[in-house]
């Protein structure tokens, strides 16, 4: 297929495909799917070999959020039955992180619900980062605390954070449909603040919220433009009690096409399969690792994932 040859050649050169080429990946047929995976796999192996990076989430603070992101079980007014708790203590978070590191995680992601941290929260997370780094040699720490105010990214960097995660989630054109309490521009601003402070920027998307192919291509181009070092690709888990509870519209094949499109647009970037991989990719998860080079171990913020089972050598 000419399209796939072109995409592989561009991916190996880190050249941006055209929007039409990216859209064409999403429009491929099921008969072409294994060729799409193989082509994306060539690009993946050029930049990352065969390695899979493992990441582990520690939910520092759960639920009780004043924001209204319609995909989120922790949103204002959510009826989803989830755990709700306020900040874990540094030692508790460090113990949780150690479980992930023992399972093979290279990066620990510290997540807190909420619009964004207060300066006191940043100080608290700084102590948590110090505790984790002291007790787990060589581990990378990524903070994910919401929208950042001036100076907070710098303070997290000083405390030892390596990265900051803040997802764009969907295209600028549809952002207002999924959240009313903050804007797409607010999100871009936080990713830029993290970058400017010397933190590795981690920013990704959520597929399956009713978006069009154009929306998906738009958000992935925006992520490349922002120079995100890692791109988590979430597949919506439609939680009961949230406005998107009925949005079950992804198939494993669609998820593979989305991952392939992300790989072609962001060839040398860590593409991470994030929330929803178990329920949406199902038995095609191993195929997806031909495209993505990074996954989460264990549980997500408010849903269960797969535990690490170190049966391989
Ligand atoms: S995504 Fe974050 S900011 Fe939005 S409702 Fe959920 S916890 Fe709050």
Domains of the chain in sequence order: 2-297 (3.20.20.70)
62 CB under 6 A from ligand 1? no
Residue 32 reports pLDDT greater than 60 = yes
First-to-last CA distance in the chain? 37
Please say if 266 is a catalytic residue: no
pLDDT, averaged across the chain? 93
Question: From ligand 1's centre to the CA of 239, what distance in Å?
Answer: 14
Residue 18 reports pLDDT greater than 80 = yes
Residue 311 reports pLDDT greater than 50 = no
Query: CA-CA distance, 203 to 165, in Å (whole number)?
Result: 6
pLDDT at 24: 98
CA torsion sign for 260, 266, 272, 275 is negative
The tens digit of pLDDT for each residue in 38-88 reads 999 999 999 999 999 999 999 999 888 899 999 998 888 788 878 788 899
162 CB under 6 A from ligand 1? no
Atom of ligand 1 nearest to the CA of 75: 5
Q: What percent of the chain has pLDDT over 90?
A: 86
What confidence tier does 297 reach under pLDDT thresholds 50, 70, 90? Answer: confident
53-61 and 107-112 beta bridge pairing: parallel
- Cα–Cα separations (whole angstroms), residue 252 to 26, 170, 190, 276, 282: 13, 20, 32, 11, 7
Residue 114 reports pLDDT greater than 60 = yes
pLDDT at 34: 97
What confidence tier does 301 reach under pLDDT thresholds 50, 70, 90? Answer: low
Q: What percent of the chain has pLDDT over 70?
A: 95
Query: CA-CA distance, 153 to 198, in Å (whole number)?
Result: 9
Average pLDDT of the segment spanning 215-224: 98
75 CB under 6 A from ligand 1? yes
pLDDT at 82: 81
């Amino acid at each position: 297929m000419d399209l796939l040859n072109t995409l592989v050649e561009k991916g190996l050169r880190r050249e941006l495909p055209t929007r039409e080429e990216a859209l064409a990946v999403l429009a491929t047929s099921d008969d072409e799917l294994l060729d799409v995976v193989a082509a994306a796999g060539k690009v993946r192996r050029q930049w990352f070999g065969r390695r899979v990076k493992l990441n582990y989430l520690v939910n520092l603070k759960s639920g009780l959020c004043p924001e209204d992101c319609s995909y989120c079980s922790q949103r204002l007014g959510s009826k989803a039955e989830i755990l709700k708790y306020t900040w874990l203590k540094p030692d508790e978070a460090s113990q949780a992180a150690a479980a992930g590191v023992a399972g093979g995680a290279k990066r620990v992601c510290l997540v807190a619900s909420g619009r964004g941290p207060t300066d006191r929260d940043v100080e608290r997370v700084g102590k948590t980062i110090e505790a984790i780094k002291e007790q787990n040699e060589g581990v990378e720490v990524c903070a994910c605390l919401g929208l950042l105010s001036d100076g907070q990214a710098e303070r997290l960097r000083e405390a030892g954070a390596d990265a900051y995660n803040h997802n764009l989630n969907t295209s600028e054109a549809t952002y207002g449909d999924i959240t009313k309490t903050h804007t797409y521009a607010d999100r871009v601003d936080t990713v830029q603040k993290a970058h400017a402070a010397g933190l590795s920027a981690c920013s990704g998307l959520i597929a399956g919220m009713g978006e069009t192919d154009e929306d998906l291509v738009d958000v992935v181009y925006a992520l490349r433009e922002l120079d995100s070092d890692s791109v988590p690709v979430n597949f919506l888990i439609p939680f009961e009690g949230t406005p998107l509870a009925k949005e079950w519209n992804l198939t494993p094949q669609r998820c593979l096409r989305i991952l392939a499109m992300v790989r072609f647009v962001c060839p040398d970037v860590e593409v991470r399969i994030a929330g929803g991989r178990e329920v949406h990719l199902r038995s095609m998860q191993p195929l997806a690792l031909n495209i993505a080079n990074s996954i989460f171990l264990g549980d997500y913020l408010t849903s269960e994932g797969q535990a690490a089972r170190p049966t391989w050598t």
